[in-house]
Structure 1
Amino acid sequence: MHSHLKVNSRKMMLLIIKNYKVVLFIVVLLSTVSCSKKEKEHYDIVISDINLIEIENGNITTKTVYVNDGKITKIEAYDSIDNYVTKNKIDGTNKYLLPGFWDNHIHLRGGKSLIEENRNLLPLFIANGITTVRDAGGDLTLEILKWRKEINDNTLVGPTIYTSGPKLDGTNATWAGSLPIESSEDITKALDSLEKIPSDFVKIYDSRISRENYLEILKQATDRKMISSGHMPFTVELNEALDYGIGAIEHLYYVLKGCSTKESEITQAIIQKELGFWDAMDDLIISYNDSTAQNTFQNLKKTNTYVVPTLHIGNILSYLDEVDHTQDPYLKIIGKGIIKTYEGRIKRALNASEKAKKTRKELNTFFKTLTKSLHDADVRLLAGSDSGAYNSYTYSGISLHQELEALVSTGLSPLEAIQTSAYNGSKFLKKDEISGTIKIGKNSDLVILNSNPIERIKNTQDIYKVIKGSQVYDPKKMQID
């Protein structure tokens, strides 16, 4: 009897264990299937096995980059192809990934008659891998704000636009749409209006602005922690502008003035109306002094002031009397109204005296040396094309690449030139937490190149794909009107 019970108990135990193993197997199987499903993450874009260029140091490593909702969400060494699904898989083998380029000085302007033609320029930036632009003042602020929203909503193809809104200048300013400044009260009202837009930085122009108002604008803008940039009236010395907090100096004329042993003397002659802007250039080149220049460079560095050389447009404008641009392919793309605005500069260049033409060319050559000297002194440079209406033959999009080439021609390496685009641009506008490098959490504004731009600067134009947020563009298939 006892023995029979023992046998039955053993059988029952074996049966329970057997059933437990079956149940356990099923549970583990279901769990594995469930986990497997969980691991299939969804991404808007995956760029696999690409040569990722760390723009801050030039290191290149093969990575797979994952994008969701316009952000870089993951960067891995290998393509974990079994663990995700994506709407858009890009094979990056033998290709190169960079942050989308920034053009740090453009103009969207020209009044009501050129609104549509300016709007049509925006896809040209994307087609050239430029995902962000800095609009340095004009008369189309309301339109720009509308375009920004459309770009953000993916109803318009174009770059992120950071804008100054209208420029600040004196009464009867050269550029339409400028806010006239005659008093401290005008400055307060103007800055209030710019903050209300809100503008991304304050742009000052020098056609009519007085010395006192120029410095007061800088003081008030600095007190409000507003970023500033601009031209500089020759009635002001460079170190004064630095002391009052200017954030960036557009063009090299003003830096050149700060490198002259005769800066104070020339400034006083300008104030007394004994000397004009262009008349001062020969004296400034002759009185350039390396020791004075080095002191100026150190002050620029100490105050973290950026310089925008705009070399390419200098090359164009200096040789308008010698170079025939009538067959430029971009003339078939740019609107006729914008092309018509080129006529003023062209006529002035052709009608200039031989002395003026010679001075302009000498100055342009000197600026190349000055750019390299600034770079060697660790002054931060910004690549900007100055493209837009009125700036003859300086075309939206492609001219940024020509600016990078011009920077390399001064002696910068391709990497150093590229750093003046998105990397430095994002730092200047204090947007480096969201852009400028390829990092997890940053905006997925990216450009994929077919060839290595670190080896050859012209390779920045060898574009395979452009990524703006969650949109992927093939420049060869883009419809450009």
Structure 2
Amino acid sequence: MNLSVRFYYLIAFVGLSFLSACQEQTTQNTYDLAIKNITIINEKGISDGDLYTVYIKDGLIAEIDPLDTSKSLFATKEIDGSGKYILPGFWDNHTHFRGGSELVTQNELFLKQFIKYGITTVRDAGGDLTPQVQQWNKEIQNGTRIGPTIYTSGPKLDGKNARWAGSIGVSNSNEISKALDSLQSINVDYVKLYDSTLSGEQYLEIIKQAESRGMITSGHMPFTVTLDETIDAGIDNIEHLYYILKGCSSQEKEITAQIKEGKLGFWNSMEQLIATYDEDTAQRTFKKLKDNNVYVTPTLFIGDILSYMDEVDHSNDTYLSLLEEDFIETYKGRVQSALNATPEAIQRRKDLQVFFLTLAKKLNDAGVTLLAGSDSGAYNSYTYPGPSLHGELKELTRANIKPATALTAMYEGARFLNKTSYSFSKGGIADLVVLNSNPLEDINATKDIWLVIKNGAVVRNKD
């Protein structure tokens, strides 16, 4: 054998040996789960359309490998994701666990319902079941219970004799300080403010004190203060669009004065606020919200449900079969109020809902960050935990907001709560949902769920 031939075989042998070494399976290149041949849509609603294999290990996204690489990666379990789309698990940024001890088991049932609908994280916006909620969350995190990660405000802060059970009532600075102490002692994730009996002065004081402690604040807004005052106090998130509408009126100060004097109430001020909506004022308000990094949670879906209750019969809703009679009983107050309203009041409510769709679009166009939240839970009639988030996404697109932006409105909840690990990237939390069709083309695809993965484990498989 001549020298050149020997050299050729030597090179071939070395090459094969090197390739074999590269392909050797070790603990370092072996993962718990690989989802192959799949299209990624990240938390920004962006997809490059290419196919990847996503490797998961120890509850985290360990590798995102393009199909054309020569990496030698292995997995204990492989799933073929051909023709499917993988996204971060869905976030519902406004839910409620509440109803007292009688409804604990019913609220507990909702944990699996959230997972069924692809929701791996929820923000509990105040209730009266905080000990149970925090215990459930611990069990979910240690893998002994199936459900979404729960970020909770714990009890709401309100005035004395507050509307909602479990709320902490305050009437002066000292009581506010003690209330915030109590929330910090149970390690809540943010502070939720409510406006049933809370004075404007105490409302602003709560925000200022909470912000000085580094606590995140979110909530309603008493109509006895202006939106400018609320933003200046340091609020981080406005729940619902009523309060944004108020800040878009050219006569907000005058209307606020009438409310303070008892000449106007919350609902009968709506007509005046719409009539005095001013585009220049609105744009200044939007800019101030954006410049101060104030989030807005529109909760459009519950508004649609309540506005059209006279036209839509929910008595045969499939989800009702999952609900206990005591839970369904909590729906009656809003149902009766809606159905017993005058034709004029019903029409005003519908007009307001249509206006809110326009307002949500204007906020988005102005660069204000929206959060997608359903407002599901007891007392909020037919706003069911799970499917209602998908209803909210649909409403956002009905407002002519792009599907990609509607998706992003879910995931912005992580940034609002300063939770940096929820990104579709190496090292991100492996809370994921796999869809059969593309939500960037049709938002209804979010309901077409094939797999749900929580902390790296498959917790729902449609097949």
Normalising by the smaller structure, the TM-score range is over 0.9
Q: Is the 8 A contact 2:39 2:47 kept in 1?
A: no
How far does residue 359 in structure 1 lie from its aligned partner after superposition? 1.4
Aligned residue for 1:354?
A: 343
Give 4+ residue runs of structure 1 displaced > 4 Å after superposition. Answer: 28-35, 79-82
Which residue of the other structure, out of 64, 72, 82, is the alignment partner of 1:93? 82
Aligned residue for 2:38?
A: 50
Deviations 1:347-367 (A, max 9, x none): 111112222212111111110
How far does residue 83 in structure 1 lie from its aligned partner after superposition? 3.7
Which residue of the other structure, out of 436, 448, 452, is the alignment partner of 1:450? 436
Aligned residue for 1:341?
A: 330
**More deviation in 402-411 or 75-84?**
75-84
Cα distance, 1:226–1:368 mapped onto 2, change above 3 Å:
same
How far does residue 195 in structure 1 lie from its aligned partner after superposition? 1.0
Residue 115 of structure 1 aligns with an amino acid whose one-letter code is V
Residue 325 of structure 1 aligns with an amino acid whose one-letter code is H
Residue 64 of structure 1 aligns with an amino acid whose one-letter code is T
Aligned residue for 1:17?
A: none
How far does residue 102 in structure 1 lie from its aligned partner after superposition? 0.3
Aligned residue for 1:309?
A: 298
Aligned residue for 2:446?
A: 460
3-state secondary structure, aligned to 1:89: strand
Matched, 1:407 2:396: yes
1:70-469 equivalences in 2 (<5 Å): 70-78=59-67, 83-422=72-411, 424-431=412-419, 433-435=420-422, 437-469=423-455
Q: Is the 8 A contact 1:415 1:454 kept in 2?
A: yes
Residue 410 of structure 1 aligns with an amino acid whose one-letter code is A
Equivalent residue pairs, number? 450
Structure with max Cα Rg: 1
3-state secondary structure, aligned to 2:462: helix
How far does residue 155 in structure 1 lie from its aligned partner after superposition? 1.6
Distance 1:472 1:31 in 2: 33
Cα distance, 1:39–1:152 mapped onto 2, change above 3 Å:
closer
How far does residue 153 in structure 1 lie from its aligned partner after superposition? 1.8
3-state secondary structure, aligned to 2:267: coil
3-state secondary structure, aligned to 1:447: strand
- Sequence identity (%): 52
Question: Which runs of 5 or more residues in structure 1 are unaligned?
Answer: 1-24
Matched, 1:36 2:24: yes
Residue 393 of structure 2 aligns with an amino acid whose one-letter code is L
Cα distance, 1:207–1:30 mapped onto 2, change above 3 Å:
closer
3-state secondary structure, aligned to 1:421: helix
**More deviation in 170-179 or 36-45?**
36-45
How far does residue 473 in structure 1 lie from its aligned partner after superposition? 2.6
Aligned residue for 1:16?
A: none
Deviations 1:229-255 (A, max 9, x none): 000000010010000000000000000
Distance 1:129 1:34 in 2: 37
Q: Is the 8 A contact 1:249 1:307 kept in 2?
A: yes
Q: Is the 8 A contact 2:45 2:408 kept in 1?
A: no
Deviations 1:442-475 (A, max 9, x none): 1001110011110111011111101111210335
TM-score by length of 1: 0.90
Question: Which runs of 5 or more residues in structure 2 are unaligned?
Answer: 1-12
